[in-house]
Chain A
C-alpha cells in the first residue's frame, strides 16, 4: 500500500535534508502512528505521499502508483485514491459542510444519487448532522476537524492520511476521533496518523514509526506502556 525505498528529500531553497535515506512499508489494512519532534520530517513525509513534492532519490509507491514516475496529468487521479485530514483542515470557506464533503464526489463525476446517499452518511458518522448547512467559519475547531475527516472518508479511500487530526481539539474529543479512525481501519482502510500526542499513542498502542532528523529511528508494533515519552 505505502512503500518508501531509500528515499531522500532535500529542500533546494534552504539546503535542509528533511528525509535521509528512509525505507518503510505500510501494508494494506494497517494502522500506524507517525511520531516525531517538530522539524523531524513528518510533514515532508506527508507531502511526499501526496505528491506535493518529489524525492531527490529513492522510490515512493502509494496505492499501486509509483510516484517517482507518475506523470503530472495522472496526479489528480492518484490523489482521489487517498483521503487526507490536514492539520489546518483545508476546508473551502465559501462552501457549507455538505458542499465541502460533496465536492470530493463531484470531482470524480459521481452520480447525484450516490452523492445524496453518501454525504449525509459520512456527516452522521462524524456527528455533524446539525451542521450540514453551516460554513467552516461557523464551526468550532473540533467540528472543522470532523468535517475534514468526513471529507477524507466520503470517497471510501483505500488509504487515509491524518496530519495531527487531534492537534486542535480537547483530549476527550481527540480520543473519540482516534476511536473513530480505529473503527474505520477495522473496515479495511489503511491509516497513517501523524501526531504529537504521545500520551494518546501510549494509550492506543499499535505500530509506531518514530522519525527523528529525517530518519526512521523506531518502527515497531508495541503496547502502550512500552513507549517512552520524548
Chain B
C-alpha cells in the first residue's frame, strides 16, 4: 500500500466518525460505560485488597522470652527470628519498655505500680510482622519450637476472619468483573454490528468496484480505534474525578480511617496504569470490534441466493 493510500484510508476513518456521528456516538457511549463498569470494579477490588492488607499490617505476633534470658541469648533469638521464612520485620520490645507503656496506659493505678518498686513482672518480647498472614499459624508453630521462648501470642481468629474475607472478596470481585466483561463485550459487539449494518450498502458498493477486504476494513479499523480512544480518555477523566471525590470523602471521616479505610490507594499512584489500561483497552476493543463486525458483510456471496 502506498503512503498516499494509507493517508487516504486513515483520513477516511476520521471523516467517517463525523459522517456517521450518531452511530459513532452510540458506540462511544457503550464503550465508555463498559470501560467504567469494568474499570471501577477493578479499582474497587484492588482497594478492598489494599484495605485488608492495611488491616493485616497492623496485626503482629508477640514472642515472649523466658524470664532469665541473657542479652546474648536475646540477640541470638532475634537473629534466628529474622532469618525465618514469612517473617518480614522483627522488633525487640524490652520488659522495661513494656513496663513503662503499661504504667502509662494505666495511670489511674499508679499506686499499684509504685508498690511494686523496681520489681518488673513483665517479660522481654519480640514483635513479629509476617509477610503472608494466611501462613501465620505455621510461623507461630515454628517459633514455639525454639529454645528460650516462654509463649507466643497471635491473633488467630482475627487472622482467620481476614484471610477468609480476602478470599471471598477475591472470588466475588472476579465473578463480577468477568460478568461485566461478558455483558460489555455483548453490548459492544451488538452496537458495532448495528453501526456496520447501517453501512452494509456502502460496503457492498465498495466491493462492486473492486475494493479488497483490507481496503474496506481499514477505515472501519481507524474509526473504531478513534471511538475507543475517546471512550478511554473520557473514562480516565471520569474515574479520576470520582475517585478523588471518594478519597476526599473518606479522609473527612476519622472512623473510616481508624478501621483501615486509610489504606485506599491514592490516584497519583495508579494514574499511569489506569490511563494506559483505559486508553489501550478502549482503542483495541473499538478497533477490533469494528473490524470483526464487517466480517459478515464482507463475505463473498457467490452462493446463489
Contact = CB atoms under 8 A, between A and B. Distances in A.
A143 to B, nearest CB: 17
Interface stretch (A84-92, A174-182, A193-201, A205-213): A84-92
Contacts of B202: 92-94
Nearest to B204: A90
B210 A80 contact: yes
B215 interface: yes
B270 interface: no
Given A79-B208, A84-B208, A107-B215, A10 B304 contact: yes
B17 to A, nearest CB: 11
Contacts, number: 76
A53 B209 CA distance: 16
B138 to A, nearest CB: 64
A20 B300 CA distance: 24
B305 interface: yes
Contacts of A112: 4
Given A13-B305, A51-B302, A77 B210 contact: yes
A72 B304 CA distance: 15
Interface in A42-60: 50-54, 56
B158 interface: no
B186 interface: no
Contacts of B212: 76, 107
Contacts of B5: 106, 109
Contact of A12 (B20, B206, B211, B304): B304
A47 to B, nearest CB: 9
A107 B209 contact: yes
A111 interface: yes
Interface string B271-305: 00000000000000000000000000000111111
A104 interface: yes
Contacts of A216: none
B305 A109 contact: no
B25 interface: no
A9 interface: yes
Contact of B300 (A11, A13, A72, A91): A72
A52 B210 contact: no
B137 to A, nearest CB: 66
Nearest to B2: A109
20 contacts: A12-B304, A50-B208, A53-B301, A53-B304, A54-B304, A76-B210, A76-B211, A76-B212, A79-B207, A79-B210, A84-B208, A92-B202, A92-B205, A106-B5, A107-B206, A107-B210, A107-B211, A107-B215, A109-B5, A111-B4
Interface of B: 1-2, 4-5, 8, 15-16, 19-20, 201-202, 204-212, 215, 300-305
Interface of A: 9-13, 50-54, 56, 72, 75-80, 84, 86, 90-94, 103-104, 106-109, 111-112, 151
8 cross-chain pairs, A with B, having the tightest CB-CB distances, nearest first: A80-B210, A79-B210, A94-B19, A107-B211, A76-B210, A54-B302, A90-B205, A76-B212
